[in-house]
Amino acid sequence: MLPQQRREKILDLITEDGHATVIQLSKIFKVTEVTIRQDLEKLEKEGSIEREHGGAYLKNVGLNVKNIVLQNQDHLAEKAAIAKKALEFINDGDTIILDSGSTTTEIAKMITSYKNLTVITNALNIALILGVMPEINLVVTGGEFKAPTLSLTGQKAADFFVGLHVDKLFLATAGITLKSGLTYPSISDLVVKRAMIESANEVYLVADSSKIGKSAFASLGALSLIDFLITDSNINDTDSSMLKNNDIKIIIA
């Protein structure tokens, strides 16, 4: 991996987790701690992070948490369209999982008229949106708090899903490629997402078309893990054919 590529992956990880240590990054990227410190120094000069003793943290993350604002606010119009389409696959009486993420947050904002709907989520912002709705039975996982995504992660969050059986999972992702499958900036989320998938009868990946062709650091697994992809109309013919050839049912918002 070239130094610039490594720094981009480091920034993605810190943007996702909120912080990282030099020791942790050195092990992940298999370079010396001196190299990681140099990477963090460059990233700090670019204004994205702030260094601290033994690591670095994301700038302004505390303010976003206080205001309950997600870090990722790109492609919101497309995400809203995807969320609206996703509602067509939710029925009264369903038990669903809403993964943490900006697109699943848009789904939560639009859930208003269902009866006897059970929603399980690891996202605290989604919990705050849905917690005031009397017709929704809201269940929140445990786990370690991750500030930029306002979510709960790690093994404790994953253990919550053991033995659970739900109708539908609405899953988020950072990248979709044929080679790497579904990818994410953070390793800690993988165990949670695998547990969610194993507990769901149907898996709907909700992702705007900008995610297709992008690859983040950590791979969850092959595209065969999902049943449906709900994406926006900007998906190109090449990507559409690639997904269809791998038996992914595409739903266009």
Furthest CA-CA distance within the chain? 57
Domain final position from 11, 26, 59: 59
Instruction: Give the burial string for 209-235 (b: 16+ CB within 10 Å, else e).
Output: bebbeebbbbbbeebebbbbbbbbeeb
Tell me: do 203 and 93 sit in the same domain.
yes
Q: Given the DSSP bridges, would you call strands 144-146 and 151-153 parallel, antiparallel or unpaired?
A: antiparallel
Tell me the H-state helices in 115-180. Answer: 124-130, 155-159
CA distance 94 to 162: 19
Domain match, 245 and 194 both: yes
Per-residue pLDDT of the chain (253 residues; tens, 9 = 90+): 788 988 988 888 888 888 889 998 998 889 999 999 999 999 999 888 889 889 998 887 776 777 677 766 778 899 999 999 999 999 999 999 999 999 999 999 999 889 999 999 999 999 999 998 988 999 999 999 998 889 999 999 999 999 999 999 999 999 999 889 999 988 889 999 999 999 999 999 999 999 999 888 889 999 999 999 999 999 999 999 989 888 889 999 9
| Within-domain flag for 234 | yes
- Quick one: DSSP state of residue 2? -
Beta-carbon neighbour count of residue 14 at 10 Å? 25
DSSP 41: H
In a domain, 64, yes or no: no
**Range of the structural domain that residue 129 is part of:** 76-252
Residues 6+ apart with CB under 8 A from 77: none
Domain at 27, CATH number: 1.10.10.10
Neighbours of 137 (CB within 10 A): 13
Query: pLDDT tens digit string along 70-108?
Result: 766 778 899 999 999 999 999 999 999 999 999 999 999
Cα(119)–Cα(131) distance, integer angstroms: 10
Look at the block and give the residue holding tokens 């999982």: 97
Helices (H), 97-236: 102-110, 124-130, 155-159, 190-199
pTM of the model: 0.86
Local structure of residue 70 (DSSP, 8 states): -
Is 37 in the same domain as 143?
no
User: Which tokens belong to 79?
Assistant: 């995400």
